[in-house]
Structure 1
């Protein structure tokens, strides 16, 4: 043990790569504990050198800044994804809105190579396109106390509050206004991004301009549930911006305070992002075929319905019977390939659903496509590997190839007598 070595001065920023080997960095103990408590990275103190921590990034990518309450020390941790940021935003955009502009280059991350600056830039550009023609207006149900009758009188409230007085009047009416859910969501996303450290100055300036445009819209109180919106023909020019804004606000942001510390930033979980992309892309591939795709479809493994299971993707035929099943697995591989536990899980899905074949879809690494015939069961388990570094059109073509193989699976299953 290096007993004679004193504490090492802490760094101001740490750069990590998703699923890369562990690195040792000097950090305040409070910051290291905060990173571990918030599960941002795997963080453990160095047992031999005071003030150093061993950090390893998992599947979360983005940037966070940790601020200690007593010393105001700040450490920024940036986690770079394995795939290029443009590919990451294609996966995100396609999973949010398959009919959106993600595939044909209308959505650009400019020169930004890091996740948070690219996210802020993309959201600002989409908000600008949405509100360039003026803020969307709509009808909002309003209840208020007034000196003139407008809309209808709330009789129960008038009696309870006014005790027979004629004025003021408790009224309810539909107001045509810009203070509607769609604009409130855009304002909340813009303000959330402006609070995050690491947004480039020019992007921050443009976001401030968008906030000024939305200044007359009432804010969403932090901590309250995000109001729901429905895509319609009337709000079509807002669709892309709203999908991105909800991604900013749906809880993927890191804004915790473990042990009195403040953690500000934005993180994407690549596990969830990949799973969403694969399942949505498969659903789109089967659209119009007469089959029904269900995502995160709940079932039970046993007859007593005690053991729950939820495959990522189950395809049903026109008769309502399952004809194919798939699971998306974005994870670090073992040196000799993908984990065997995934095969056991898929075998359970196939057995419970009465299917002869199952499909595991991975982000491509050092293992390629494989198929495993299960002894004494007559079940074939496929492992597909998607190369995320290729162009969007090629990636979607690979998804369609997986869908065709699943279609063949469905035909074979339909022609196989059930036991």
Structure 2
């Protein structure tokens, strides 16, 4: 039986494991670069260092490494974050835990596979949708319209073969291809025999209807629209794309026949997306807008020419005034934010002058507990040229509130963020997550 090694984000652990041949060792290190650091200290002693990626890596002829989330609290909380940022409706969030059985495996990949199989079964039960799709074939009789380019290049001067373009009304649609491809992947990733069998049966059913291979592109998520006819596909697509998109990796480390797969979730990227979703849930007035910001070249110049660019994660706009917000998935509740991050946010404050009319930007980071927020001012000779507010949000508690159906706009975290953004009058309440926020970190020490 394969040994299982568990560790938390950012943790280091030494375990007994035979060193593979150098070629395989290089392949493992290459494929896990930046996600898990593996270092064989001796021929049978392996040092594993986790980063901010969570998930499972099954090594060829070695242990199965399970990196648990630290700041998010649990794998189920991570799945909740994926569901929230993946378009699961807020009213459906409290039901996520009802579709998983943690006794058969509670890693992120197992939970997603369970949710996908459950959602795909629901789609099958409620009805697989058909739609028109573009198709083409060489026929003996005319159907649809003639494809002139294909006719001229392949059947020039022939009338017994016609290159036709037409629309087919069937099940081989993008909606069904996404689920088909994800079910095949789920069968490869799950280690649970029963779940693998269920995924395999569903895959055969969907593949019979939608056999055309699906090629994932990042734009597919934004191109999907849901209506009364296909609303029951929403959850299945969220969990399908969680397996297929850029936060998922599934490839063999060893090209010599030893299969080894990994499913790792980039918590940096997920936290950034989750902060944007949280802001949308917490800031509910009609005149405040929250948008992901593109590249801004208006701040840094060399002479009359732009020099470099900035790109904050989000920009909050109110009455024509804007504040920049950056999400940093770092352990800043135990140490002061780095000088580089503060300097970056100070530059943002010069580009986005703050919703209260003063140069101001905000850095949001996750905390295990409720922590203090504090402000750093750029203040040469007593004149404030810009300010950075940093605030730690109690991530695990907030995700738990999402799954419990608690309105996020009513939380003390929402109140603190609105105050920092100048959206609420300063009531003197300096609590985040219910705890007093006295200045925990000294400002000057942060810049050392």
For the superposition of Structure 1 and Structure 2, which TM-score range results when normalised by the shorter chain?
0.7 to 0.9
Identify the range of structure 1 (86-95 vs 100-109) with the bigger mean alpha-carbon deviation.
100-109
Equivalent of residue 47 in structure 2, options 18, 42, 54: 54
Is 1:359 matched with 2:347? no
Mapped to 1, the partners of 2:218 and 2:315 lie a distance apart of 29
Selected match of 1:392 from 396, 401, 413: 401
- Per the alignment, residue 240 of structure 2 pairs with 245
Structure 1 stretch 139-148 or stretch 226-235: which is displaced more? Answer: 226-235
For residues 145 and 186 of structure 1, the distance between their equivalents in structure 2, rounded to whole angstroms, comes to 29
Evaluate the alpha carbon distance shift between residue 299 and residue 263 of structure 1 in structure 2; reply closer, same or farther with a 3 A threshold. Answer: farther
Q: Where does 1:1-150 land on structure 2 (aligned, <5 Å)?
A: 12-30=3-21, 32-38=25-31, 39=33, 40-46=35-41, 49-67=42-60, 73-82=61-70, 83-97=73-87, 99-100=89-90, 102-106=92-96, 108-111=99-102, 112-150=105-143
Change (3 A) 1:157 1:252: same
1:380 aligns with 2:387: yes
Report the CA distance between 1:343 and its aligned residue. Answer: 1.9
C-alpha distance in 1, partners of 2:423/2:218? 41
Instruction: After TM superposition, give the deviation of residue 139 of structure 1 in Å.
Output: 0.4
Contact 1:36 1:43 in 2 (8 A): yes
Partners of 2:115 and 2:263 in 1: CA distance: 14
Q: Is 1:307 matched with 2:308?
A: yes
2:272 matched residue in structure 1: 275
- The one-character-per-residue Cα deviations of 1:284-313 (angstroms, maximum 9, x if unpaired) are 444662333221432134033222221111
Residue 296 and residue 26 in structure 1: after superposition, are their counterparts in 2 closer, same or farther (change >3 A)? farther
Structure 2 stretches lacking a partner, 5+ long: 427-448
More displaced 10-residue stretch of structure 1: 84-93 or 348-357: 348-357
Structure 1 residues 360-405: Cα deviation after superposition (integer angstroms, max 9, x where no partner): 1111136712222412334332222222222224583355335422
User: Given that residues 95 and 280 in structure 1 are in contact (C-alpha distance below 8 angstroms), is that contact kept between their aligned partners in structure 2?
Assistant: yes
TM-score by length of 1: 0.83
Write the distance in 2 (CA, Å) between the matches of 1:235 and 1:347: 46
Question: Does the 8 A contact of 1:193 with 1:199 survive in 2?
Answer: no
Q: 1:199 to 1:399 in 2, by over 3 A?
A: farther
The alpha-carbon deviation at position 55 of structure 1 amounts to 0.9
Note the C-alpha offset of 1:76: 2.0
Counterpart position of 1:175: 168
1:405 is aligned to 419
Q: How has the CA–CA distance of structure 1 residues 145 and 220 changed in structure 2, closer, same or farther, with 3 Å as cutoff?
A: closer
Q: Secondary structure at the match of 2:242?
A: helix
Mapped contact 1:185–1:220 kept (Cα < 8 A): no
Q: Take 1:78 and 1:220, find their aligned partners in 2: how far apart are those partners?
A: 34
Q: Which residue of the partner structure matches residue 342 of structure 1?
A: 341
When residues 345 and 163 of structure 1 are mapped into structure 2, their CA distance, relative to the original with a 3 A threshold, is closer
C-alpha spacing 1:37/1:210, structure 2 compared with 1 (3 Å): same
Q: How far, CA to CA, are the matches of 1:256 and 1:215 in structure 2?
A: 22
User: 1:402/1:230 Cα in 2 relative to 1: closer, same or farther (>3 Å)?
Assistant: farther
Deviations 1:8-34 (A, max 9, x none): xx9744322222233343242446544
CA contact (8 A) 1:188 1:219 kept: no
Instruction: Tell me: CA distance 1:395–1:27, structure 2 relative to 1, closer, same or farther (3 Å).
Output: farther
The answer to whether the Cα contact below 8 Å between 2:88 and 2:234 also exists between their aligned partners in 1 is: no
Higher mean Cα deviation, 177-186 or 395-404? Answer: 395-404
Report how many residues are paired: 393
Residue 255 of structure 1 aligns to a residue in which SS? coil
> How far apart are residue 211 of structure 1 and its match?
0.8
The TM-score with structure 2 as length reference comes to 0.78
Q: Residues 204, 101 of structure 1: CA spacing in aligned structure 2 closer, same or farther, 3 A cutoff?
A: farther
- Does the CA-based 8 Å contact 1:146-1:170 persist in structure 2? yes
Decide whether the 8 Å contact of 1:386 with 1:398 is kept in 2. Answer: no
Query: Aligned pair in 2 of structure 1 residues 280, 335: CA closer, same or farther (>3 Å)?
Result: closer
Distance in 2 between residues matched to 1:354 and 1:332, nearest whole Å: 28
Match of 2:437 in 1: none
Gaps of 5+ in 1: 1-9, 68-72, 413-419
**Pairing 1:205–2:214 present:** no
**Cα pair 2:12 2:47 within 8 Å, conserved:** no
Deviation at 1:190, TM superposition (A): 0.6
Residue aligned with 2:187, SS: helix
Q: Give the corresponding residue for 1:416.
A: none
